[in-house]
A and B are shown apart, each in its own frame.
Chain A
Amino acid sequence: MDHRTAMARDLDHGQPPDGAPDEQAAQQHAPGTEPAHHAVHISIDQVSVRYGAFTAVRDVCFDVPRNAITALIGPSGCGKSTLLRTINRMNDLVPGATTTGAVTYNGEDIYAEGVDPVEVRRRIGMVFQKPNPFPKSIYDNVAFGPRLNGRKRDLDDLVEHSLRRAALWDEVKDKLAQSGLSLSGGQQQRLCIARAIAVDPDVILMDEPCSALDPIATLRIEELMKDMASEYTIVIVTHNMQQAARVSDLTAFFTVDMDNERQERTGVLVEIDDTDTIFTNASDPRTEAYITGRFG
Chain B
Amino acid sequence: MSTPTTQAPGGRGLQGSVRQRRADPLFRVVLAVAASSVLLLLAAMIIRTSIEAWPVFAKEGIWGFLTGTEWSVGTSRSEVTGSYGAWPFIYGTLLISLIAIVFAVPLSIGIALFTNELAPNWIRRPLTSAVDTLAMVPSIVYAFVGMYFFRIEVWAPVGQRIADTPLGEVPFFSGPVLLSSYWSAANILAIMILPIITAICRDVFAQVPADEKNAAYAMGATRWEVMSKIIVPHSFSGIVGGTMLGLGRALGETLAVAVLIGSTRDMTSSVFQPGDAMTALIANTFQDAHPEAIWALLAIGVTLFFITMAVNIVARLIVARVNLRVGGGATV
A interface list, Cβ under 8 A from B: 88, 90, 93, 95, 118-122, 125-126, 128, 130, 132-137, 144-145, 148-149, 177-179, 181-182, 192, 195-196, 199
Contact = CB atoms under 8 A, between A and B. Distances in A.
A136 B218 contact: no
* SS of B interface (majority): helix
Contacts of B209: 132
A2 to B, nearest CB: 27
Nearest to A123: B220
Contacts of A135: 212, 234, 326-328
B321 to A, nearest CB: 15
A119 B229 CA distance: 18
Interface of B: 121, 209, 211-212, 214-222, 225, 229-230, 234, 326-331
A187 B222 CA distance: 27
A181 B221 CA distance: 21
Contacts of B220: 118-122, 145, 148-149, 199
A90 B214 contact: yes
Contacts of A137: 330
B214 A132 contact: yes
Contacts of A144: 216, 219, 229
Contacts, number: 78
Given A130-B211, A179-B326, 14 more contacts: A90-B218, A95-B121, A118-B221, A121-B218, A121-B220, A125-B219, A126-B214, A135-B327, A144-B219, A148-B225, A179-B329, A181-B327, A195-B215, A196-B218
Contacts of A182: 328-331
A132 B229 CA distance: 15
A81 to B, nearest CB: 12
Closest 9 CB pairs of A and B: A181-B328, A122-B220, A126-B218, A132-B211, A145-B219, A179-B330, A178-B330, A121-B220, A182-B331
Nearest to B215: A132
A148 B218 contact: no
Name, among B212, B234, B326, B327, the residue most crowded by chain A CB atoms within 10 Å (CB to CB).
B326
A119 B211 CA distance: 20
A124 B215 CA distance: 12
B57 to A, nearest CB: 46
